């Protein structure tokens, strides 16, 4: 069961118009969330980022007041407690021209799928490959906006396909900005540890990931030094340990970068445990 424009419908009936601008132009905002024990982790921050993206797209005020209820109804209808949740808001159906109309009748969709606690779409550490596809700067595409237009990440993932062979199958791209500094993965933020310092690229040209934000908070709360800056690919390859973050992966160790072994380590394991404890406290201990 999916939630489409305020109504629960069977998956086979969950459709939108071919004239919807989300389909035509990628003119839409979305959030990927994760529910634990029926509670969406950090829902407030996901909603804030969704509202900010809609505002960036010139459709402020379209996020409905009852969006959390729609998510809860979708989880309940599918009898899901631990789940992947995606919320999408498009500009809706409008005339077939590039300039959007001022009046917006948005299309709002909530999708939920099973995702057991402790599981993710990958069962092993990430095999990471640097790619030539660059992350566009914020004055080209706003890095903080999470939109349906994922062509940049798709092109990066296609590079991985071309780099794959029987002995080597990278599953996440490491993208750089236009100055050649490490930015992020195609669908993830990047961390590495060097001499006990947790390092991650600054927010200049990357999506401000909510899992990234949580990990930085956890590290700082423990008194671990955290540094944000501009880094070379070699800094990640030569790191003591490295990991990726996103909502569905949580913290995923990096096995290798460009065929060079990196691996997780004690800091990765500790931060992963602290993250799990935060989930436990916020979603299971009520």
Task: Say whether both 68 and 194 belong to one domain.
Answer: no
Check residue 286 and give its pLDDT: 66
Query: Of 69, 91, 114, which marks where a domain is finished?
Result: 114
Q: Answer yes or no: do 106 and 226 share one domain.
A: no
In this structure, is residue 184 part of a structural domain?
yes
Q: What is the pLDDT of residue 283?
A: 96
Range of the domain at 198: 126-284
Do 106 and 229 lie in a common domain?
Answer: no
Q: Do the domain assignments include residue 120?
A: no
pLDDT band of 121, cuts 50, 70, 90:
low
Same domain? 147 vs 270: yes
Q: CATH number of the domain that 86 lies in?
A: 3.30.470.10
**Considering 114, 138, 167, which residue would you say is the last residue of a domain?**
114
pLDDT tens for each residue of 173-230: 999 999 999 999 999 999 999 999 999 999 988 999 999 999 999 999 999 999 999 9
In a domain, 185, yes or no: yes
Rounded mean pLDDT, 10-18:
96
Same domain, 264 and 240: yes
Residue 206 lies in a domain: yes
Residue 180 lies in a domain: yes
pLDDT at 59 over 80: yes
Q: Is 121 among the domain residues?
A: no
Same domain, 144 and 268: yes
Same domain, yes or no: 151 and 244: yes
pTM: 0.96
- Domain termination site, one of 82, 114, 146: 114
Same-domain check for residues 131 and 42: no
Q: Is residue 119's pLDDT more than 80?
A: no
Predicted confidence (pLDDT) at residue 95 exceeds the cutoff of 90: no
Q: Do residue 171 and residue 275 come from a single domain?
A: yes
The per-residue DSSP string of the chain comes to -EEETTEEE-GGG----TTBHHHHH--EEEEEEEEETTEETTHHHHHHHHHHHHHHTT-TT-S-TTHHHHHHHHHHHTT-SSEEEEEEEE--B--SSSSPPSS---EEEEEEEE--TT--S-SS-EEEEEEEEEEPPTTTS-TT--BS--HHHHHHHHHHHHH-BTTB---EEEEEETTS-EEEESS-EEEEEETTEEEEE-TTSS---HHHHHHHHHHHHTT--EEEE---HHHHHT-SEEEEEETTTEEEEEEEETTEE----HHHHHHHHHHHHHHIIIII--
Per residue in 225-263, pLDDT tens?
A: 999 999 999 999 999 999 999 999 999 999 999 999 999
Please check whether residues 144 and 105 belong to one and the same domain: no
Q: Are residues 150 and 272 in the same domain?
A: yes
CATH number of residue 244's parent domain: 3.20.10.10
- Whether 83 maps to a domain, the answer reads yes
Domain tally, the chain: 2
- Specify whether 242 is located in the same domain as 276: yes
The percent of residues above 70 in pLDDT, for the chain, comes to 99
């Amino acid at each position: 069961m999916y939630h489409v424009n305020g109504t629960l419908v069977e998956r086979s009936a969950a459709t939108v118009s071919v004239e919807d601008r989300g389909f035509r132009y990628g003119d839409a905002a979305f959030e990927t969330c994760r529910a634990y024990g029926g509670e969406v982790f950090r829902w407030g921050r996901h909603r804030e980022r969704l509202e900010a993206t809609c505002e960036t797209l010139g459709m402020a005020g379209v996020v409905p007041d009852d969006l959390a209820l729609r998510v809860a109804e979708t989880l309940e209808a599918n009898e899901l407690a631990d789940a992947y949740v995606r919320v999408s808001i498009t500009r809706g159906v409008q005339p077939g021209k590039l300039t959007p109309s001022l009046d917006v009748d948005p299309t709002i969709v909530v999708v939920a799928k099973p995702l057991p606690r402790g599981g993710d779409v990958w069962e092993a550490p990430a095999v990471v490959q640097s790619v030539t596809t660059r992350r566009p700067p914020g004055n080209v595409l706003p890095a903080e906006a999470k939109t349906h237009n994922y062509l940049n990440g798709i092109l990066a993932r296609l590079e991985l396909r071309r780099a794959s062979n029987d002995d080597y199958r990278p599953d996440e791209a490491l993208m750089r900005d236009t100055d050649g500094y490490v930015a992020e993965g195609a669908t993830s933020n990047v961390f590495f540890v060097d001499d006990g310092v947790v390092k991650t690229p600054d927010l200049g040209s990357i999506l401000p990931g909510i899992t990234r934000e949580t990990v930085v908070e956890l590290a700082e709360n423990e008194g671990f030094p955290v540094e944000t800056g501009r880094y070379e690919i070699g800094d990640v390859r030569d790191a003591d340990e490295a990991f990726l973050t996103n909502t569905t992966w949580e913290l995923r160790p990096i096995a290798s970068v460009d065929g060079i072994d990196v691996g997780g380590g004690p800091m990765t394991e500790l931060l992963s445990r602290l993250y799990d404890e935060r989930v436990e406290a916020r979603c299971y201990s009520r």
